[in-house]
Structure 1
């Protein structure tokens, strides 16, 4: 089937407990979402899978958990105070503000990201581009995306600081500490999962672009001669991992950024994009940052980030190849990719590794004490085995199957009358709806996935 309409995904997410509009009782807050019980489980599963594959299984990669509010000079050194800005235009009538490149792309299907202010103005004027409300637009101007905060106990002594605009800066300024404390030699990597904040002009659709989001990042510190090798490795590794969590490879593509699109710190940048119903959108990037980050932090702090190769005696500033994926965007990709309609049946064909529940346990009927007792015992047994499973005794068995299909539960386990005779249960597969008998003692092994 074709990709689902975004309204179907939005409705499903709210109705079934994946994603809620934040502060809804107060009217909501633009581009702010709370992840409900099922969404929180998917995010947790993705974090754990990523950390296992990118950190625990790698002999040359370690992880940190850096501060969200760092010294303000961190963001001066990184170039974000000066250069972390988008071009913005304003509707003269409604005073709504939009990213200039987004307005242009939606109007004439041209990627103008990275253009000068004058180039944006010319494109808008020559193509008679109006706002979404049909009004004239202002001249383009720069808008910094860093989110400012004030830190201090006294109003008169508060210091302006910033919520981190990307998670990687603590990795860079802690490079030497990690290297020395963990006895690492180049090449080695530092990974982190955490929140970042950007004062985005244009947000959406849904939670694809928000002002608060979570990133999973890996910075590989290397000799410059190894840059191509690691850049190509990260591209292959990325696609393989995305396929492993269940994403259809046919809906993924690699797109090299043009020079004018690249962030100020990137020498080379490749986006990994997914084909949503609203177009190809980036949710991951592979970047060759050169020695920009360590060199700049060295200049602003006075700290020497030079590295000496013990074998050759060469002294140099390490270069960095970066893997950066938006965790929330990855979840949105998975929801779109897994959504499937089979007549009246809605199915989320999530890979069992990322599904919120590994299974659901049902008594065939809830008015037979012996069936209910057996079902509760099986449920408790699976919980004690460390499996996140659901229990449901509402309505008839058919409706329970449909309810679990809609939230992506891979297997449904029914305790029926035959269970009382031979200690087997009916196990139903979400995708095929096929059923088989399984011994209760074998259930944990059946449900555990790598």
Structure 2
């Protein structure tokens, strides 16, 4: 391998693959299933559909044994054209044919469910049953549908999609450029950060108790150092979806502020309802 084109051509990489075995008669149905499911996996985790392309390979691109292959491609901000993230291939039974040929092993599969459904039609004829059980559709060499994804490429796509710059006020109300990572909650390394507004008046004790509660159920981060605005910015930069702040009002009525990373909107929630509120918003992430 001659390394080039950044992570798209390297000697070492992380690969994710599924080898899905099925009957040849159902293979195109399963190919279409995996083709669509794998495309949806990327959009469901936050990649914009207008930056994704599901491209079917032409006949001149297909391997000699392949009936169909689709590439899932993403338009990276540094690229002139979409780059491949994953291929979904209908590989026929070529792989198992070659394994069987060179290993000398019988890699055929016997479909017990189909046999139990149909065996009555042979009327108990043992010879006919024996013959049928060794022929299609009951015994066959499976067809392989293979989704093959580059984990490093996908990670880079999610990072590129998440990186955002906008304008937000600083502690003095002056508009400044804010850098944030708009990760889908399932990909965010930390789901929530918990702060005391100031490091006194019992606020750290209340904040620490909330932190201990939520961290049993999701990845959480506690921070009491520096101005709260700077703490917000630090969490924006690592993609934390929500920040919980214990302030003076918490000590009066038991409510806390929860700030949304993307919209900057803040709501007040009872400190006893922080965990269920987060679980509802994060959808079990």
CA distance, structure 2, for counterparts of residue 257 and residue 387 of structure 1: 41
Cα distance in 1 for residues equivalent to 2:183 and 2:221: 16
CA distance in 1 between counterparts of 2:39 and 2:226 reads 42
For 1:426, the equivalent position in structure 2 comes to 257
What is the Cα deviation at residue 408 of structure 1?
A: 0.8
- 8 Å CA contact 2:3, 2:11 repeated in 1: no
Which residue among 190, 197, 217 is the counterpart of 1:364?
Answer: 197
CA contact (8 A) 1:265 1:293 kept: no
TM-score normalised by L of structure 1: 0.52
User: What is the aligned counterpart of 2:150 among 312, 316, 326?
Assistant: 326
Alignment map for 1:50-449 (pairs within 5 Å): 200-205=1-6, 207-262=7-62, 266-277=66-77, 278=79, 279-310=81-112, 311=115, 313=133, 314=136, 315-343=139-167, 344-366=177-199, 368-384=200-216, 386-448=217-279, 449=283
> Per-residue deviation at 1:276?
0.7
Tell me how large the CA RMSD over aligned residues is: 1.8
Cα shift at 1:208? 4.6
Deviation at 1:260, TM superposition (A): 4.8
Question: Could you tell me how far 1:273 is from its partner in structure 2?
Answer: 0.1
**Unaligned residue ranges in structure 2 (runs of 5+):** 119-132, 168-176
Unaligned runs of 5+ in 1: 1-199
Deviation at 1:215, TM superposition (A): 2.5
> How far 1:257 sits from its partner (Å)?
2.5
1:212 partner SS: coil
Deviating beyond 3 angstroms after TM superposition, the runs of 4 or more aligned structure 1 residues are 207-210, 258-267
Cα 1:238/1:395, change in 2 over 3 Å: same
- Quote the Cα distance in structure 2 between the aligned partners of 1:439 and 1:287: 51
**Larger relative contact order, structure 1 or 2 (CA cutoff 8 Å, min sep 6):** 2
1:7-22 correspondence to structure 2 within 5 Å:
none
For these two proteins, the number of residue pairs brought into alignment is 248
Q: Is the Cα contact below 8 Å between 1:208 and 1:332 reproduced in 2?
A: no
Deviations 1:344-397 (A, max 9, x none): 11121111111010011111022x15111211121111112x210112222211
Q: 1:201 to 1:369 in 2, by over 3 A?
A: farther
Q: Counterparts of 2:179 and 2:61 in 1: how far apart (Å)?
A: 39
1: CA distance, partners of 2:15 / 2:214: 32
Q: 1:268 to 1:251 in 2, by over 3 A?
A: same
1: CA distance, partners of 2:9 / 2:189: 23
